[in-house]
Chain A
Amino acid sequence: MTVAAAGLAALKGPADNAWVRFGLRRAGRLVVSVWVLVTAAFLMIHVLPGDPVRTALGPTAPISLVEQRREAMGLNDPLWLQYVHYLGHLVTGDLGVSMSSGLPVNEVISARLGSTVEMALLAFAVAVIVSVPLGTLMTVLARHGRRRGSDWALTSAGVVVATIPEFLMAVGLVFVFSVQLGWLPVAGRAGFDSYILPVLSLAIGPAFMLARIVRVELLTVLQADYIRTARAKRLRPAAIYLRHALPNALTATLTIGGLLLGGLVAGTVLIENIFAWPGLGSTIVQSILAKDYPTVQGVVLVYGIGVLLINLVVDVALAVLDPRSAIRDS
């Protein structure tokens, strides 16, 4: 993505060289981050107190079996050699074999990745679709100190809702919509119905948080000199808000939105466990409890790379929306 953007920019001429530099810098940062992540995932098992195989198989397992498993996993090699092997396997897409199911970890992950990504993306879409109009509306209605009371009430309600973590939101929603009203299924993943509660639980908090940020940013932008210029041009209020103010407010919103999306990815872990959702989040918790370290390692890697990719997309989107941010050293 960055490379393509950089290549395109290079064709435009030397004036756009900043794009090439931005692309290279961003790609460099991604490579370093992935390396740190991979190394951390590798070390995770090796800094564990005690023997991971012994821990996994339990105290009653015979020594011979433990030895055999250690040998098979290469745990008796020197650390640097294990690291080299680990990197080599990663390059070929080999994440090892699950200790509990005996299946290759990458199969376990690929079977479950889709439903997690689906949930996270849907929730993010809902959060954005709700928050931007909501934040804008709150700003427009309450500008110039009008409607102080309702503005205060809305803001306070927003703060409270945004404080409620997604898993408590889920419990509350299940209680109301599944237990009391009986409208929606309490758990599982089958049909449109079953998506509503998990996605809402994930989206509501971030939606209110984002709406607040949109509001704060919009109020700041509306103070800017160029908004006064737009008013001096006697543009319609809608043009001033939507064309001049909102895009400038969204750059800052997007930065924080990216962080929220990262948090939302982490939130899937809890939500999947509440709704018995067959995704990576339920897998990682089961694996941690079952001490199935190769699976844990693999899922941590996938989650980590997911977060890094989100950050990359946010940075590129920011650069497109506000080209100055590409030139500034971020």
Chain B
Amino acid sequence: MRKPLAITAAALMVLVLGLALVAPLIWQDRAAAVDSAAILQGPSSAHPVGTDLLGRDILARVLVATRLSVGLALLATGIGVAAGLLLGTAPTLLGRRAGRWITAVINIAVAFPTLLLALFFAVVFGVGAKGAVLAIGFATAPGFARLTQTMAATVANRDFIAAARVSGVGRVRILLRHVLPNIAEPLVVSATAAAGSAVLAFASLSFLGLGVQAPSYDWGRLLGEGLAQIYIHPAGALAAGVAVVLAAMAFNLTGEAVARAIGLRSDTGGPPPADPAPATEVPVTERSAENLLEFANLRVSFPAAGGEVTPVRGVSLTLRTGEAVGIVGESGSGKSLTALAIARLIEPPGRVQADRLDFLGADLRESTGSPEGRGQDAAREHRKLLGTSLAMVFQDPMTSLNPTHKVGRQLAEVAREHQKADRRTAWRRAVDRLAAVRIPDAGRRARQLPHEFSGGMRQRAMIGMGIMASPRLIIADEPTTALDVTVQRQVLELLAKVRAAEQAGLLFISHDVTVVSQVCDRVLVMYAGRIVEDLPTGSLLADARHPYTRALVAAVPDMTTDRNRPLAVIPGRPPDPHALPTGCAYAPRCPLATDRCRHEDPPLTAYAEGRRVACWHADLTPAGQAQTAHLGGEAP
């Protein structure tokens, strides 16, 4: 949609500025020609929009008035921008004390609408074109000053300005060389928009009789004259009105187009995405009552420029009742998306496909738009099932609670929604649950807003929200990453305690191998949207088979790490999901990679009870691998 906007803006701008330059030269005489035989005529071939009280051609007058209307508006904008820049940069120039006064005055002036300020200044500067230019200029200044000041303040806090100041560069020089160039683009954009507003403001003042005075005329005056005749002859008023709107829009659209071109605003719009292809059908095996969660070939994809990206590419997992499974991987490996997809929290345009997605014996795919969908009925059933049996704990407790609702209310809501509890019962349950997650003085705390809670308390409240009903599965997505180390421990202990009390399963997502091995029975290692290894936690440190898993483990320093050597890191970066390599996605970073790895993607294959790995070199013994791998120097 960017091109049409820019083209429309440019065309209108050329039209308006062109008319301002040319129109008086061409139509001046025609606009001034009095014709007593043709007073107040309607539209005709001689006078396309009719004539006014003196028989003058209205269209010619509207066209000729372009120069005065636009010219005066631009003049006023110039004054406003100059005054605004002076006022806005004054705090930077004059130092703190004087700056504070100027800021205070600007803040008060900004509170008043431009038109009121313009009226005020119109009294001061007198009625007439000159007075109106000054009035609109001065009325524009405070808003522009505020913008300049806010942006200059942001820039002034940056390091390079501080560096310039420390090295003794003068204030004026800092302003001209460093501050203004950095804020010039947004200022130009808002100056353009200000010109649009000035066109309207000028028309208003002239319309009220406070601007351009007869015998001169601008659009505002023509509009006023036209309005008096609107019963007999509406075209006059409408023509001037259309001219004002078009000119204002020319400036506003130009501002918008410039803003988009220099990246100040995001471009919305574009062609709608193609309909998602139906998921491929695969025969479903028997459902097992023992399995809490079972999914196969889970894929998550998003529309992207030039097609689709698939950050999760076929993940399969079975989680038994009461089991705790961890998913580890670097950021971008798809582990959080996997969790969200299982919880049915991926929103369109994101798309989730799976050959199987069973939770507590219910096929969660039925409530989606997939071919096996049962529609509304399934959606209702699943809503209740997921609302009561699945608990989510998210990464950032600071943002995961609604800032405007009391914490207790946010918990009580679950019971109100799914258990149809009355207000009081729900609230009691909420307080009880807050106490259960060891929030001290839960009754009082429940009445507080999230910002009155510490980070650790908020995360505990989130866990409390999950146990309002009795969850069978808790999905915790990096629940401790945003917390202090001491608080992390408390939250982990609480999760373990809650899990034991509720006999719930746990799917624990983390980038931290150590934390996962503390909490989980089994670990899945994800890389580039795939599971590359599935193994019991006990084997993680000593018996991991995938070179990536080993590298992850090696990257964690422990008590025996030789601190005189640099910390082990995994060289390179995870692949871009837009451009995955053909073979094994880890091959470019893998010390063991051979030609086969670079051409053939290894499948995830079971090689022992409860252990799977996706690597062509997984049969190497740990010792042999450690010798070959340089990155795993400190591997235990």
Binds B, one of A2-10, A65-73, A127-135, A267-275: A267-275
On chain B, the residues within 8 Å of A265 by CB distance are 113, 116
The reply to whether B116 and A171 form a contact with Cβ atoms under 8 Å apart is no
Contact of A225 among B119, B400, B418 (CB under 8 A): B400
The reply to whether A152 and B124 form a contact with Cβ atoms under 8 Å apart is no
The reply to whether B394 and A225 form a contact with Cβ atoms under 8 Å apart is yes
- Which A13-48 residues have a C-beta within 8 angstroms of B? 32-33, 36-37, 40, 44, 47-48
> Does any Cβ of A come within 8 Å of B392's Cβ?
yes
The reply to whether A269 and B119 form a contact with Cβ atoms under 8 Å apart is yes
Main secondary structure of the interface of B (DSSP, over half): helix
CB distance from A209 to the nearest CB of B (A): 12
The reply to whether B399 and A311 form a contact with Cβ atoms under 8 Å apart is no
Chain B 401-416, CB within 8 Å of chain A: the 1/0 string?
1111100001001100
> Does any Cβ of B come within 8 Å of A183's Cβ?
no
The reply to whether B400 and A274 form a contact with Cβ atoms under 8 Å apart is no
The reply to whether B244 and A266 form a contact with Cβ atoms under 8 Å apart is no
**26 pairs, A vs B, C-beta closer than 8 Å:** A40-B120, A148-B272, A163-B196, A163-B248, A165-B204, A165-B248, A174-B227, A175-B230, A175-B234, A175-B237, A175-B238, A225-B400, A226-B401, A226-B403, A228-B345, A229-B392, A229-B394, A229-B401, A230-B402, A236-B383, A266-B114, A270-B115, A289-B127, A322-B404, A324-B449, A324-B451
Question: Which size bracket describes the interface of B in this complex?
Answer: 35 or more
Question: Using a Cβ–Cβ cut-off of 8 Å, how many residues does chain A contribute to the interface with B?
Answer: 69
The reply to whether B112 and A144 form a contact with Cβ atoms under 8 Å apart is no
Please report the C-alpha to C-alpha distance between residue A172 and residue B238 in the assembled complex, in whole angstroms.
7
Chain A residue with Cβ nearest B405: A244
The reply to whether A228 and B400 form a contact with Cβ atoms under 8 Å apart is yes
Contact A266/B113 with A144-B347, A234-B384, A285-B210 known, Cβ cut-off 8 Å: yes
CB distance from B434 to the nearest CB of A (A): 16
Contact A234/B404 with A47-B124, A144-B347, A148-B269 known, Cβ cut-off 8 Å: no
- Which B122-167 residues have a C-beta within 8 angstroms of A? 122-124, 126-127
Contact A233/B122 with A168-B241, A225-B394 known, Cβ cut-off 8 Å: no
The reply to whether A160 and B111 form a contact with Cβ atoms under 8 Å apart is no
Contact A149/B272 with A32-B104, A229-B400, A270-B208 known, Cβ cut-off 8 Å: yes
The reply to whether B104 and A164 form a contact with Cβ atoms under 8 Å apart is no
> Does any Cβ of B come within 8 Å of A122's Cβ?
no
> Does any Cβ of B come within 8 Å of A317's Cβ?
no
The reply to whether B387 and A233 form a contact with Cβ atoms under 8 Å apart is yes
The reply to whether A234 and B418 form a contact with Cβ atoms under 8 Å apart is yes
CB distance from A239 to the nearest CB of B (A): 7
Please report the C-alpha to C-alpha distance between residue A37 and residue B252 in the assembled complex, in whole angstroms.
31
Contact of B119 among A239, A248, A284, A323 (CB under 8 A): A284
The reply to whether B227 and A171 form a contact with Cβ atoms under 8 Å apart is yes
CB distance from A16 to the nearest CB of B (A): 11
Chain B residue with Cβ nearest A50: B126
> Does any Cβ of B come within 8 Å of A321's Cβ?
yes
On chain A, the residues within 8 Å of B417 by CB distance are 233-236, 239
CB distance from A212 to the nearest CB of B (A): 12
Binds B, one of A84-92, A104-112, A300-308: A300-308
> Does any Cβ of B come within 8 Å of A185's Cβ?
no
Contact of B1 among A152, A285, A289, A324 (CB under 8 A): A152
> Does any Cβ of A come within 8 Å of B273's Cβ?
yes
Chain A residue with Cβ nearest B237: A171
Please report the C-alpha to C-alpha distance between residue A228 and residue B273 in the assembled complex, in whole angstroms.
23
> Does any Cβ of A come within 8 Å of B102's Cβ?
no
> Does any Cβ of B come within 8 Å of A247's Cβ?
yes
Contact of A234 among B115, B122, B248, B386 (CB under 8 A): B386
On chain B, the residues within 8 Å of A103 by CB distance are none
Contact of B116 among A163, A289, A307 (CB under 8 A): A307
Please report the C-alpha to C-alpha distance between residue A85 and residue B19 in the assembled complex, in whole angstroms.
53
- Which B345-365 residues have a C-beta within 8 angstroms of A? 345, 347-349
Chain A 223-262, CB within 8 Å of chain B: the 1/0 string?
0111011111111100100001001100100000000001
Contact of B122 among A228, A229, A288 (CB under 8 A): A288
Please report the C-alpha to C-alpha distance between residue A328 and residue B553 in the assembled complex, in whole angstroms.
44
Please report the C-alpha to C-alpha distance between residue A186 and residue B273 in the assembled complex, in whole angstroms.
49
Chain A residue with Cβ nearest B232: A179
> Does any Cβ of A come within 8 Å of B189's Cβ?
no
- Interface residues of A, Cβ cutoff 8 Å to B: 32-33, 36-37, 40, 44, 47-49, 144-146, 148-149, 152, 160, 163-165, 167-168, 171-172, 174-175, 179, 186, 224-226, 228-236, 239, 244, 247-248, 251, 262-263, 265-267, 269-270, 273-274, 284-285, 288-289, 293, 296, 300, 303-304, 307-308, 311, 321-324
Chain A residue with Cβ nearest B241: A168
> Does any Cβ of A come within 8 Å of B209's Cβ?
yes
Chain B residue with Cβ nearest A291: B127
On chain A, the residues within 8 Å of B124 by CB distance are 44, 47-48
Chain B 41-64, CB within 8 Å of chain A: the 1/0 string?
000000000000000000000000
Contact A234/B207 with A226-B402, A323-B449 known, Cβ cut-off 8 Å: no
Contact A267/B115 with A152-B1, A152-B269, A288-B127 known, Cβ cut-off 8 Å: yes
Closest 8 CB pairs of A and B: A234-B387, A144-B348, A266-B113, A266-B115, A225-B399, A232-B392, A226-B402, A148-B272
- Which B269-289 residues have a C-beta within 8 angstroms of A? 269-273
- Which B27-53 residues have a C-beta within 8 angstroms of A? none
CB distance from A326 to the nearest CB of B (A): 11
The reply to whether B116 and A304 form a contact with Cβ atoms under 8 Å apart is yes
Chain B 271-313, CB within 8 Å of chain A: the 1/0 string?
1110000000000000000000000000000000000000000
On chain A, the residues within 8 Å of B532 by CB distance are none
Contact A171/B462 with A32-B108, A269-B119 known, Cβ cut-off 8 Å: no
Please report the C-alpha to C-alpha distance between residue A235 and residue B387 in the assembled complex, in whole angstroms.
8
Chain B residue with Cβ nearest A307: B112
Please report the C-alpha to C-alpha distance between residue A219 and residue B271 in the assembled complex, in whole angstroms.
19
Chain A residue with Cβ nearest B122: A288
Please report the C-alpha to C-alpha distance between residue A289 and residue B224 in the assembled complex, in whole angstroms.
15
On chain A, the residues within 8 Å of B126 by CB distance are 48-49
CB distance from B573 to the nearest CB of A (A): 26
On chain B, the residues within 8 Å of A165 by CB distance are 200, 203-204, 244, 248
The reply to whether B249 and A163 form a contact with Cβ atoms under 8 Å apart is yes
CB distance from B152 to the nearest CB of A (A): 19
The reply to whether B392 and A300 form a contact with Cβ atoms under 8 Å apart is no
Contact of B230 among A145, A168, A179, A236 (CB under 8 A): A179
On chain A, the residues within 8 Å of B330 by CB distance are none
> Does any Cβ of A come within 8 Å of B343's Cβ?
yes
Please report the C-alpha to C-alpha distance between residue A168 and residue B400 in the assembled complex, in whole angstroms.
46
CB distance from B227 to the nearest CB of A (A): 6
On chain A, the residues within 8 Å of B413 by CB distance are 233, 235, 239
